[in-house]
Amino acid sequence: MKPITSYAHWLKVAEKESSLLLFVKTSNCSVCEGLFPQIERLEEEEKIPFYVVNATEVPEIAGQLSLFTAPVVLFFRNNMEYQRFARFVKAEDVRRILKELNDLENYHD
């Protein structure tokens, strides 16, 4: 996963990518640490880019994206939020949305 280091960086990434996954975590979050490797493994199977941000280090992103817990897995399409899963995220749900986004990307190619 590629790291997001600032809110300005996030804005550039969101504008550039047609579809993406953003994994939001916080420091000292055991649920985040447990989920991160599961989501990271999915990246190997997908063409959609994966990004990660620590909301403790980039607090502005939490406010701008209305994030009230962690972890959060957000999906974006055409610079708009497509889907979000928060706190207790199932890998199967993430896989399903990734398939939807891949299908949309292939449909427009």
The predicted-structure confidence for 92-105, as pLDDT tens digits, reads as follows 999 999 999 988 87
- Per-residue pLDDT, averaged over 31-39, amounts to 95
In eight-state DSSP terms, residue 4 is P
Give the range of the structural domain holding residue 35, as residue numbers without chain letter.
Answer: 2-108
Domain with residue 48: its CATH number is 3.40.30.10
pLDDT at 83 over 70: yes
- Per-residue pLDDT, averaged over 15-25, amounts to 96
Work out how many domains the chain is built from and give that number.
Answer: 1
Element (H, E) at 86: strand 80-86
Look up the pTM and report it. Answer: 0.92
Confidence of residue 107 (pLDDT cuts 50, 70, 90): low
pLDDT of residue 109: 44
- Per-residue pLDDT, averaged over 27-51, amounts to 94
Maximum Cα interatomic distance, the chain, rounded to a whole number of Å: 41
pLDDT of residue 49: 96
